Amino acid sequence: MKSIEENGVWFLPNNPDKKIYGQLKFSAEEHPKLNLLDQLQEIKLDNNIFKGLKFDIVNGYLVNDKKVTLCNCVQSGRFTTNSIQTSTVYAKYLIIGHHFKTLEEICLNGVSLRYKNLEDWVDLPNFEINSSASDEHNQIKEINIKQVTQEPIELGKLLDFSLTLCDEPIGLERLHMAGCFRTVDNKITLEVRKSIIVRADSEKRLEDIIDVIYLSQKLLIFASGQMTYPFDIKSDIVVIEEKISLPPDVRCDLISGFNNPNQTTKEVVPIVEEKEKSVPLKIYFQVRESENSEAKFNSRRVLFSFKDVKEQFTELLSHWEENSKKLESVIDLYLRLTYIPKRHINDIFLSLAQAIEAFHGLAHSGRHIDKKIYRKVVRKALEEAVNSIPDSIPLENEAEESLDLREYKRILKEEKLSHLNSFSLRERLEEIVSEYRSCLPDNFFTPQEDQSRFLEKIRKTRNHLTHLSSDQDEYVASGQDLEILSRRLMVLLEACLLKQLGLEDVDVKTITSRNR
């Protein structure tokens, strides 16, 4: 999102006469902020602590007369700088183009927006480039560039919103301006631009639209294997405006220059008409761009491209919505590898082990027997066995001292017995490999390392890094061996998640077999 730093006047919807000068600042890494030369509302001193004030809405005008609405605002304490009282207001959302007076008023049918790297991930160019060479020196004489915008692609539904992929044509006004200022013969930049239209059947709250934007963003990060973020978010609303015009006969007289001395201005009754007008909006909010936001798209990091799943994208969206709730913790653990790529290999491995263990627990039962049977029969019998243990036993060679077992019995009953019915990490991995083996590359298990050894290395390495054991074990991976083990564990987790998106085994295998 572009940065903003503009001056304006600001006021509360319920007190529009009290206007305060101040500066609006926004960048993608921070919330919208107002630096004001006064307070929108006086903050009372309570126990010598300044408490911030919350406002649903703050309105304002920029110096170019554009209307501004800031939503979910907090005014911090008052400060004195060079004898000038100042205050700061932080907002969650910034809308430029209209004055909304309440949060309930902000209801939109949808938005259009772009995502960083969307064009590269979709990979559907709309430029045709042809050239002709001279016969004499076989040099290029003419280059013709033609843009053929493609028909919108209906992607499917997400959170009750329909998503459509659209081409954006080259801005002709930009080419015209370049020609007028004679810059077209020096430098001109043409780029493929694609946007996503998010549309609902009825008006929706802004928060609902933001949820779709974030959920789509997470899908793009998952698919592309690199950071992306939304920008150029646009919408519109229809407002009713009064149009005042002169009666036709008066207008005709004025045009013809006829002036009746007997006619007075009181006799001229203007015509007032109410007309609908479309008002464009631009929406801004903090998106936390990554430190390397200018990094170029890396095709080698892509898990799957749009072309890989184009035919089943509608079903994929539906599965993504379902699994974003069901497997939220697993997906977040996986995406952290993209959010925070510069991490120690030990941390990466532990995150992957935690993610795949959590996946099994959420997507499978992960229990040896039904939990009701375990609780009513097995656990009850085990608790009786624990109760039969004496509260204390005498120590050997200690005539007067005894060992108190009451705390030990409590730990057994309240903590240990709860986990006896759950699969171990090794058992979870065995079940996952068995179920998803047809989704894995043919060379996933090498001749030098069979399935049993692979699973044992994961178990032993996880335990070693978790409990920081100093014991030497041939199954504990480190260094380059740990990097390879982490990479294979990631492929296994990716196969699980891709399968949950409704892809066929053969398609998942094709994706996981790529050299990434």
- For residue 178, count other CB atoms closer than 10 A to its CB: 16
Angle subtended at Cα 345 by Cα 340 and Cα 347, rounded to the nearest 5 degrees: 65
| Whether pLDDT at 250 is above 80 | no
Structure tokens at 228: 């992306």
What is the chain's percent helix, strand, coil content, to nearest 5?
Answer: 40, 30, 30
pLDDT for the residue numbered 293: 60
Place of tokens 């001056």: 7
Place of tokens 């044509």: 169
Q: By mean pLDDT, which of 29-33, 386-390, 469-473 is the weakest?
A: 469-473
| Whether pLDDT at 419 is above 90 | no
pLDDT for the residue numbered 122: 95
pLDDT for the residue numbered 43: 65
Burial class (CB in 10 A: 0-12, 13-18, 19+), 118: buried
Kindly provide the residue ranges of all beta strands, DSSP E only, lying in 97-172, ordered along the sequence.
Answer: 107-115, 127-133, 140-147, 153-158, 161-168
Q: What are the residues facing 197 on neighbouring strands?
A: 112, 164
What does the alpha-carbon distance between residue 450 and residue 164 come to, in Å, rounded to a whole number? 46
How large is the angle between the packed helices 425-436 and 345-363, nearest 10 degrees? Answer: 70
Distances (CA, A) of 330 to 208, 325, 355, 398, 484: 23, 10, 5, 52, 21
Place of tokens 């085994």: 505
pLDDT for the residue numbered 47: 46
Structure tokens at 421: 């019915």
Distances (CA, A) of 289 to 6, 70, 191, 310: 22, 21, 22, 27
Structure tokens at 50: 């300044």
Selection from 124, 116, 10, 136 nearest residue 73 by Cα: 10
Q: Tell me the pLDDT tens digit for each residue of 367-404.
A: 777 778 877 877 788 888 888 888 888 877 666 678 88
pLDDT, mean of residues 194-214: 95
DSSP collapsed to 3 states, 154-223: EEEEECCEEEEEEEECCCHHHHHHHHHCCCCCCCCCCCCEEEEEEEEEEEEEHHHHHHHHHHHHHHHHHH
Q: Which amino acid is at 262?
A: N
What does the alpha-carbon distance between residue 179 and residue 185 come to, in Å, rounded to a whole number? 8
pLDDT for the residue numbered 229: 93
| Whether pLDDT at 220 is above 70 | yes
Q: 411 falls in which pLDDT band (50, 70, 90)?
A: confident
pTM of the model: 0.82
DSSP 417-468: HHHTTBPPHHHHHHHHHHHHGGGS-TTSS-TTS-HHHHHHHHHHHHHHHHHT
Q: 26 falls in which pLDDT band (50, 70, 90)?
A: very high
Q: Which amino acid is at 516?
A: R
Residues 441-477 as b or e (16 or more Cβ within 10 Å = b): beebbeeeeeeeebbbbbbbbbebbeeeeeeeeeebb
pLDDT for the residue numbered 261: 55
Q: 133 falls in which pLDDT band (50, 70, 90)?
A: confident
Q: By mean pLDDT, which of 47-51, 56-60, 280-284, 285-289 is the weakest?
A: 47-51
pLDDT for the residue numbered 48: 41
What lies within 8 Å, CB to CB, of 362 at 6+ separation is: 326, 327, 329, 330
* Cβ(95)–Cβ(68) below 8 Å: yes
pLDDT, mean of residues 238-246: 78
Distances (CA, A) of 300 to 155, 226, 258, 303: 24, 10, 77, 8
Where is 504: in which H helix or E strand?
none
Q: Which amino acid is at 271?
A: I
Angle subtended at Cα 445 by Cα 440 and Cα 448, rounded to the nearest 5 degrees: 170
Q: 289 falls in which pLDDT band (50, 70, 90)?
A: low
pLDDT for the residue numbered 50: 56
Average pLDDT, the chain: 85
pLDDT for the residue numbered 2: 84
What does the alpha-carbon distance between residue 303 and residue 300 come to, in Å, rounded to a whole number? 8
| Whether pLDDT at 130 is above 90 | no
What lies within 8 Å, CB to CB, of 423 at 6+ separation is: 360, 366, 367, 368, 431
Structure tokens at 112: 């259009």
Distances (CA, A) of 203 to 92, 231, 238: 21, 22, 12
Going by the DSSP 8-state scheme, the letter that residue 367 receives in this structure is B
pLDDT, mean of residues 483-504: 95
What does the alpha-carbon distance between residue 391 and residue 401 come to, in Å, rounded to a whole number? 14
| Whether pLDDT at 469 is above 60 | yes
